[in-house]
Amino acid sequence: MLMAELSRRSGVPVATIKYYLREGLLPAGQATSATRADYGEHHLRRLRLIRALLEVGEVPLAEIGRILAAVDDESASLHEVLGAVQYALGPHLAPPTSEDPYWQSASGEVDRLITDLGWSVAADAPARTLLTGTVAALRRTGSAPAGAGLRRYAEALRALADLEVASLDAAAAQGAGDGQDRPSRASYGASAVVGIVLYERVIIALRRMAQEDASAQRFSGG
Amino acid sequence: MLMAELSRRSGVPVATIKYYLREGLLPAGQATSATRADYGEHHLRRLRLIRALLEVGEVPLAEIGRILAAVDDESASLHEVLGAVQYALGPHLAPPTSEDPYWQSASGEVDRLITDLGWSVAADAPARTLLTGTVAALRRTGSAPAGAGLRRYAEALRALADLEVASLDAAAAQGAGDGQDRPSRASYGASAVVGIVLYERVIIALRRMAQEDASAQRFSGG
């Protein structure tokens, strides 16, 4: 299809598509003349992925570039792609510069939790730092979670992660219907990115609604 | 305590404390002379709450002001406080301006889900719009979640929300130890804010670690 049709079908303005092409977020089309190029379904899918990350995931464009580079790197394993996405997403909470007893205690608690769960999590995973900083803040504000409470959260979320990783296989197998013999690493990668970023939004939205309902039942008019 | 001690114990610089006082985020201390004021434990707690929302929750200062105003409004029920916090947090996803079949279909799906679950969720709850936009983006990128999948997420998160709302009662009862006869609305409110904002971070962090582990088991080296 021509640029105009790509714009119409994706809902992305031509000027924006040209910007993505210049920035390398979208691969060039097949040149058909000096001024025209032909774009395929994979361009449309890529544009929809960019818009989903930008508008729903609220991921900054610079991070999207880093995420797509990881998706496009065929030499990276899917596990490495997932890692790259998580690192690009942040949030990059910095450990305190001076000694902080809350942080140290939280750090020990998080280490023990991950050991107890038997999870394989990199020592420098941003999520580990995020959990440490959050537990420290909970303690500092006098709302320390019980260790058992954290574990219950961890187990519920692990069940959902298993569901997602399994559906990643299913999504990739569906992607294989695009005239390919087997799911490509690229279709796996794109599904993984969608899974990580958009399902996080699904979780946040459902959790807030669950909270609204739970609170209505317990506190309304109270 | 004097301003200097409040600064030392909270780790917040004096200039920043003065800024919070001017902006009304922190109530004034008890004046002891023309230039000195005495601050209590509740000032320290409020400072820790502000820093937790700002640094861990990444909530903008303007939104923090709105959240604290809701916490301080003794005429509001705890359910109203929770609602105010959720509205202040956003994200404020706007419905599309032109007709979008993905959005319309997602909107119907979200409505049915909430009805099936029997949840009480306001029609204009930002979380409802967030879920609609996310489901629309999932469909648009060809990663439509099965309705059953969404429901499984919803049920897992509802179990966690019940846990949190129950622990809110416990936290408020603890707060009652501060020389008060019964838990004050303010201590309830502050715990609720911490619960909503910081536990969301706990969930995001644990989910990403669960995903890292699930992915390591399934895809590593693949």
**Residues of A whose CB is below 8 A from B211:** 82, 86, 161, 164-165, 196
Q: Mean pLDDT over residues B88-116, rounded? A: 84
Average pLDDT over residues A124-136: 90
How far is Cα A217 from Cα B220, in angstroms, rounded to an integer?
Answer: 44
Alpha-carbon separation of residue B194 from A45, A137, A216, B50, B57 (angstroms)? 39, 9, 18, 10, 9
Q: Check if the beta carbon of residue B132 is closer than 8 Å to that of residue B110.
A: yes
How many of the other CB atoms lie within 10 Å of CB of B216? Answer: 17
Q: Which residue has the higher pLDDT, A211 or A110?
A: A110
The encoded tokens of residue B61 equal: 């200062």
Q: Cβ atoms within 10 A of the Cβ of A43, count?
A: 23
Residues 3-22 of A with CB under 8 A from B: none
Chain B residue closest to A58 (CA)? B91
Tally of CB atoms within 10 A around A168 = 25
Question: pLDDT digits over A57-96, tens only?
Answer: 888 888 899 888 888 888 887 778 888 888 877 776 777 7
- Per DSSP, the residues of A131-145 read HHHHHHHHHHTT-PP
Instruction: Looking at mean pLDDT, say which of A172-181, B59-68, B71-80, B137-146 comes out highest.
Output: B59-68
pLDDT confidence of residue A174? 57
Q: Which two tokens stand for residue A207?
A: 């959790």
Average pLDDT score over residue span B149-171: 79
Q: Is the dihedral of CA B45, A106, B14, B32 positive or negative?
A: positive
Per-residue pLDDT at B82 exceeds 50: yes
Residue A197 CB-half CA count within 13 A? 33
pLDDT of res. B183 = 54
Report strand pairing: A30-31 vs B30-31.
Answer: unpaired
> Does the distance separating the beta carbons of A49 and B160 come in below 8 Å?
no
The stretch A133-156 carries a mean pLDDT of 79
* pLDDT exceeds cutoff 90 at B7: yes
The pTM for the full model equals: 0.82
Torsion angle (degrees, nearest 10) of CA B205, A78, A58, A63: 110
Chain B residues with CB inside 8 Å of A174's CB?
142
**How sure is the predictor about A181, in pLDDT bands with cuts at 50, 70 and 90?**
very low
Instruction: Find all residues with CB under 8 Å of B93, minimum gap 6, and list them.
Output: A55, A56, B126, B129, B130, B132, B133
Q: Is B86 exposed, middle or buried (0-12, 13-18, 19+ CB in 10 A)?
A: buried
Window from A5-14, A135-144, A202-211, B86-95 with minimum mean pLDDT: B86-95
DSSP A70-109: HHH-TTS-HHHHHHHHHHHH---PPPPSS--HHHHHHHHH
The size of chain A, in residues, is 222
Q: Where in chain B is the domain with CATH 1.10.1660.10?
A: 3-88
Q: Which of A58, A142, A198 sits opposite B138 (nearest CB)?
A: A198
In CATH, the number for domain B3-88 is 1.10.1660.10
What is the residue-averaged pLDDT of chain B?
83
Which of A175, A190, A210 lies closest to B157 in CB terms?
A210
Q: Does B173 touch chain A (CB under 8 A)?
A: no
Residue pair B193/B71 in contact by the 8 Å Cβ criterion: yes
Task: Supply the DSSP symbol for B221.
Answer: T
CB B54 within 8 A of CB B61: yes
The Cα B41–Cα B15 span in angstroms is 19
Residue B94 has pLDDT above 80, yes or no: no
pLDDT digits (tens, 9 = 90+) for B11-41: 899 999 999 999 999 999 999 998 899 999 9
Q: Which of A134, A210, A202, A135 is nearest to B161 (CA)?
A: A210
Q: Is A22 exposed, middle or buried (0-12, 13-18, 19+ CB in 10 A)?
A: exposed
Q: What integer is the mean pLDDT of B203-220?
A: 83
